[in-house]
């Protein structure tokens, strides 16, 4: 019999990239056999101070360091993360230039994370020094603590100071602890966020004797369905928590807080389980309940009977090929409305029939009530949602259901790529070109890259879907690296809309004459329209007519935008807000004028032109409240609104049969940005938004207002001719050596001292030059810069960048990591931070 490993490698929190690594600890005998990869621990670090960590691996041989400290505390009885995600942590660090613990945190919902907190408790008067030496504030704090102590609990430092009305930086608690009046303790506390109660399952398959009617009902339910929470049992069966507790006392039912527990009997299949958590209940009922959560009580959502999906000849051919793929990654390319969703729904059916699980990734904008309704209606309890509109508790609950095997499908945005599913058979990435799949915070990962790694680990198919795939993806498909399937026609009787580019030069209104006439005709026919204006707010800037000064955010180098609500000036980068001023702050003259236009001004103009029309606006302001976006779209689907206006939120993922007119108010600003992806993004945005028209039996019309109606990109998007666009754009990319002919890595420096930031960017270039002339002379790199970012200051921090054209290979990443490590150890730049972003969304960041 072999002994349990005595050592483990741990990813520790709050380490800098310059010294981050797996740190080794010994496993105390009391924790032998319990500490496993994926378990969270508390470990001594940096002078013995406790820190959180997660176990990465177990080792029999002691590490080379002379003294190895033991783990202080084990936070999980069973691993929080499955092994394949634990093994992904070092890969994420190596590819995204983050710390190991940052990689771990990206995989776990906020509600399941622990944080280290300082806790206090008061000593009894007989055990404490004399209180005559204390001042009024100290006595008051001690009194509040003793009230808490009487209830037998410690209190967090933040809560104690708030309770006493003291500032959060007050030294009083520490002072009293040092003088012996308080007990000070540091411990790991889990964030609030469990939506459901404990999970319960039967202890034995045989029905015991002596059960009441209600107890027997609960027992039979659990035996049939494997597991359920107290919330689910009480809600579906109409029993009280006392019935469940009585079964626990009898030993008939057992409960656990283990996120991995499922209580599934051998061979049991949860696909027909009738229970549903509150998050999924909301989704299932949102289309018919006004966006409100359903009432509590005997509510259960079963998988609805669904008719078989009938595929066209093109769809059937794509499905046949994808059912037996020749490559581990495939691209499903089809025009808007061609039925790509139907193809991957059939693939999901087939994958579930093989006993495997599925991840479906969608950009945030595509998580409409329509898509959610399709999945919950078709797959019922098999679906768990990973969506930012859910509360912390709802997201935690969905994660637990996936981890415990009670959900076979995870539907969500970027973070859903880390869903803790086992035995994955299919990963679908809808609208794969969307920039929201790329994280702009550490770890700076692209969901497509993580999906490829996870699909390879599980021998699963990664299916990318888009009407306008990224140039890199389409190039990989054309070169045969990925499997390519094409849907060239719209599904059923629907046809592509007529698209016309309209000259908007010199117009008095935001809406030109042709678009106004088309709107009027659409409303007369009882149809609906969608209008795109990719700027929010009312006016986009304020300027002085006398001295030409433009009002800027004091924290960012960007102009303030005027918002009608509250008549405020807002910064769209840091959120700074101030009232509208009457006089110029530079020259003092009352010559302030407004300029530019956003969605709020468009809404105002529409209300004046069409006073009888019902108008809805969907942008970052109107959709900010929880589930506001879903409510707007639900009401638009019910024809409570005639016109839907918005930013690019309205451009994708929407399917309304009654929409026959789409208007693009202006595309020029997007079209002429100084970014190498501007043409690609403009083509995609235009193709997607015009594709919202004519998706039913009525023909559609799309009007694109522009100062240059003959622009080639607009004409290609009007014809939805992606191959022609690709052929022209790929030539430019080859000529200029841009992706897919290279990878781009942005080395950024940020800090509050502008000169120090600028100097830091120059040092990065010097480090690059030195390493590529020495140890990394085999790595070919083209460096551009250093230069300030397009928005040179955000939230009080200046930003400089260095852009590298390179190949995203292990040696290149090792070079970049070495640069960051060397920079992080340079004490001259302790006031600034450097980071690396491989293939960023924009080179202007």
Distance between CA atoms of residues 826 and 820, nearest Å? 10
Smallest CA-to-CA distance from 662 within 631, 641, 639, 688 is with 688
In the predicted model, is pLDDT for residue 224 greater than 70?
no
Q: What is the DSSP string of 689-736?
A: HHTTSS-SSS--EEEEEES-TT-HHHHHHHHT-HHHHHHHHHHHHHHH
**What would the two tokens of residue 372 be?**
């959610």
Please, which pLDDT band fits residue 1 given cuts at 50, 70 and 90? very low
**What would the two tokens of residue 344 be?**
């991957």
SS3 for 98-123 is CCHHHHHHHHCCHHHCEEEEEEEEEC
In the predicted model, is pLDDT for residue 274 greater than 50?
no
Distance between CA atoms of residues 198 and 229, nearest Å? 5
Average pLDDT, the chain: 83
SS3 category, 622? coil
Q: How far apart, in Å, are the Cα atoms of 538 and each of 141, 557, 582?
A: 49, 20, 17
Please, which pLDDT band fits residue 194 given cuts at 50, 70 and 90? low
In the predicted model, is pLDDT for residue 17 greater than 90?
yes
In the predicted model, is pLDDT for residue 438 greater than 70?
yes
Length of the chain equals 845
Answer yes or no: are the C-beta atoms of 732 and 471 closer than 8 Å.
no
What is the predicted pLDDT for the residue at 371? 78
Burial bucket for residue 31 (CB in 10 Å: 0-12, 13-18, 19+): middle
In the predicted model, is pLDDT for residue 814 greater than 80?
yes
Answer yes or no: are the C-beta atoms of 823 and 829 closer than 8 Å.
yes
291 half-sphere exposure, CB direction, 13 A CA radius: 18
Q: φ, ψ for residue 625 (rounded to 5)?
A: -60, 150
Distance between CA atoms of residues 743 and 838, nearest Å? 7
SS3 category, 596? coil
Q: In the chain, what is the straight-line distance between the N-terminal and C-terminal CA atoms, in Å?
A: 57
Burial bucket for residue 160 (CB in 10 Å: 0-12, 13-18, 19+): buried
For range 353-376, the mean pLDDT:
82
Distance of alpha carbon 811 from its chain centroid, rounded?
Answer: 30
| Preceding peptide of 467 cis, ω within 30° | no
Please, which pLDDT band fits residue 298 given cuts at 50, 70 and 90? very low
Smallest CA-to-CA distance from 100 within 8, 42, 191, 17 is with 17
For range 490-511, the mean pLDDT:
78
**What would the two tokens of residue 152 be?**
């037998």
Q: How far apart, in Å, are the Cα atoms of 438 and each of 88, 435, 477, 773, 840?
A: 17, 6, 21, 32, 8
pLDDT tens across 768-782, in order?
999 999 999 999 999
Query: Which 8-state DSSP code applies to residue 788?
Result: E
Please, which pLDDT band fits residue 307 given cuts at 50, 70 and 90? low
Distance between CA atoms of residues 154 and 139, nearest Å? 18
In the predicted model, is pLDDT for residue 270 greater than 60?
no
- Helices and strands, counts by H and E, the chain: 24, 33
| Residue ranges in 226-312 assigned as alpha helix (H) | 230-237, 241-249, 278-285
SS3 category, 517? helix
pLDDT tens across 29-53, in order?
888 888 999 999 999 998 778 899 9
pLDDT tens across 129-147, in order?
877 778 888 888 888 777 7
User: Which residue would you say has higher pLDDT here, 302 or 201?
Assistant: 201
Please, which pLDDT band fits residue 766 given cuts at 50, 70 and 90? very high
What is the predicted pLDDT for the residue at 389? 65
pLDDT tens across 637-657, in order?
889 999 999 888 787 767 788
For range 223-237, the mean pLDDT:
65
Query: Which 8-state DSSP code applies to residue 438?
Result: B
In the predicted model, is pLDDT for residue 572 greater than 90?
no
By mean pLDDT, which of 259-263, 400-404, 762-766 is the weakest? 259-263
For range 789-811, the mean pLDDT:
93
In the predicted model, is pLDDT for residue 277 greater than 70?
no
**What would the two tokens of residue 752 be?**
């509050």
Sheet harboring 253-256: ordered strands across? 228-229, 199-202, 253-256
Percent of the chain with pLDDT strictly greater than 90: 39
What is the predicted pLDDT for the residue at 581? 81
What is the predicted pLDDT for the residue at 192? 57
**What would the two tokens of residue 252 be?**
């008939």
pLDDT tens across 517-530, in order?
999 999 999 999 99
What is the predicted pLDDT for the residue at 66? 67
pLDDT tens across 706-723, in order?
888 888 998 898 888 999
> Maximum CA pair distance of the chain?
91
User: Which residue would you say has higher pLDDT here, 270 or 222?
Assistant: 222
Distance between CA atoms of residues 330 and 464, nearest Å? 6
């Amino acid at each position: 019999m072999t002994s349990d490993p005595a050592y483990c490698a741990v990813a520790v929190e709050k380490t800098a990239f310059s010294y981050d690594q797996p740190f080794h600890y010994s496993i105390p005998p009391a924790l032998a056999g319990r500490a496993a990869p994926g378990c969270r621990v508390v470990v001594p670090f940096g002078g013995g101070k406790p820190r959180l960590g997660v176990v990465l691996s177990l080792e029999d041989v002691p590490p080379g360091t002379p003294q190895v400290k033991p783990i202080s505390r084990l936070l999980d009885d069973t691993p929080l993360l499955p092994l394949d995600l634990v093994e992904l942590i070092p890969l994420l660090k190596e590819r995204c230039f983050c710390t190991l613990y940052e990689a771990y945190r990206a995989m776990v919902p906020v509600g399941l994370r622990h944080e280290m907190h300082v806790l206090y408790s008061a000593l009894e008067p007989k055990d404490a020094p004399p209180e005559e030496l204390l001042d009024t504030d100290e006595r008051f704090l001690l009194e509040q603590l003793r009230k808490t102590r009487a209830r037998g609990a410690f209190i967090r430092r933040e809560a104690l100071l708030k309770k006493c009305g003291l500032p959060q930086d007050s030294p009083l608690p520490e002072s009293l602890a040092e003088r012996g009046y308080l007990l000070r303790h540091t411990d790991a506390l889990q964030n609030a966020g469990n939506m459901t109660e404990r999970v319960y399952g039967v202890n034995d398959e045989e029905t015991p004797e002596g059960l009441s009617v209600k107890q027997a009902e609960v027992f039979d339910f659990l035996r049939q369905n494997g597991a359920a929470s107290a919330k689910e049992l009480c809600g579906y069966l109409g029993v009280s928590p006392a019935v469940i507790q009585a079964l626990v006392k009898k030993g008939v039912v057992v409960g656990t807080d283990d996120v991995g527990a499922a209580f599934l009997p051998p061979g049991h299949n949860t696909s027909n389980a009738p229970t549903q958590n509150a998050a999924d209940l909301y989704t299932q009922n949102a289309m018919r309940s006004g966006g409100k959560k359903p009432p509590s009580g005997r509510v259960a959502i079963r998988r609805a009977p669904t008719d078989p999906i009938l595929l066209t000849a093109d769809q059937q051919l794509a499905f046949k090929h994808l059912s037996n793929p020749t490559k581990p990654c495939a691209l499903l390319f089809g025009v808007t409305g061609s039925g790509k969703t139907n193809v991957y729904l059939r693939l999901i059916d087939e994958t579930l029939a093989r006993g495997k699980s599925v991840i479906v990734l969608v950009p945030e904008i595509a998580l409409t009530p329509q898509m959610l309704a399709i999945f919950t209606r078709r797959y019922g309890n098999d679906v768990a949602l990973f969506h930012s509109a859910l509360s912390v508790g709802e997201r935690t609950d969905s994660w637990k259901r996936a981890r415990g095997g009670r959900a076979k499908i995870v539907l969500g945005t970027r973070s859903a790529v880390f869903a803790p599913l086992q035995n994955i058979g299919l990963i679908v990435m809808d609208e794969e070109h969307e920039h929201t799949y790329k994280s702009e915070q550490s770890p700076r990962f692209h969901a497509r890259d993580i999906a490829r790694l996870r699909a390879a680990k599980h021998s699963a198919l990664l299916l990318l879907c888009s009407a306008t795939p990224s140039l890199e993806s389409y190039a990989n498909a054309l070169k045969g690296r990925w499997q390519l399937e094409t849907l060239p026609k719209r599904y059923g009787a629907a046809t592509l809309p007529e698209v016309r580019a309209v000259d908007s030069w010199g117009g008095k209104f935001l809406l030109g004459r042709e678009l106004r006439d088309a709107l009027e005709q659409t409303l007369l026919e009882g149809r609906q329209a969608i209008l795109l204006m990719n700027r929010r707010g009312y006016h986009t800037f304020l300027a002085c007519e006398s001295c030409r000064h433009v009002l800027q955010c004091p924290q960012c180098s960007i102009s303030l935008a005027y918002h009608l609500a509250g008549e405020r000036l807002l910064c769209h980068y840091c959120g700074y807000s101030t009232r509208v001023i009457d006089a110029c702050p530079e020259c003092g003259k009352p010559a302030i004028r407004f300029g530019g236009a956003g969605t709020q001004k468009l809404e105002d103009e529409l209300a004046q032109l069409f006073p009888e029309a019902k108008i809805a606006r969907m942008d970052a302001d109107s959709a900010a409240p929880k589930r506001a976006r879903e409510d707007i779209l639900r009401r638009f689907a019910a024809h409570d609104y005639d016109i839907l206006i918005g930013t690019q939120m309205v451009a994708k993922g929407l399917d309304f049969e009654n929409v026959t007119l789409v208007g693009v108010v202006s595309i020029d600003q997007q079209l002429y940005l100084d970014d190498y992806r501007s043409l690609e993004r403009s083509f995609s945005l235009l193709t997607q938004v015009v594709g919202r028209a004519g998706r039913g039996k009525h023909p559609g019309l799309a009007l694109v207002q522009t100062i240059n109606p003959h622009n080639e990109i607009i004409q290609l998007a009007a014809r939805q001719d992606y191959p022609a666009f690709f052929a022209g754009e790929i030539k430019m990319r080859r000529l200029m050596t841009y992706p897919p002919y290279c990878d781009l890595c942005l080395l950024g420096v940020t800090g509050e001292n502008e000169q120090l930031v600028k100097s830091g960017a120059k040092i990065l270039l010097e480090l690059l030059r030195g390493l590529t002339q020495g140890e990394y002379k085999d790595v070919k790199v083209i460096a551009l810069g250093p230069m300030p970012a397009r928005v040179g200051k955000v939230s009080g921090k200046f930003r400089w960048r260095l852009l590298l054209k390179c190949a995203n290979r292990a040696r290149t990443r090792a070079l970049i990591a070495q640069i960051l490590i060397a920079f992080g150890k340079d004490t001259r730049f302790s006031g600034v931070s450097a980071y690396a972003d491989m293939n960023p969304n924009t080179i202007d960041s």
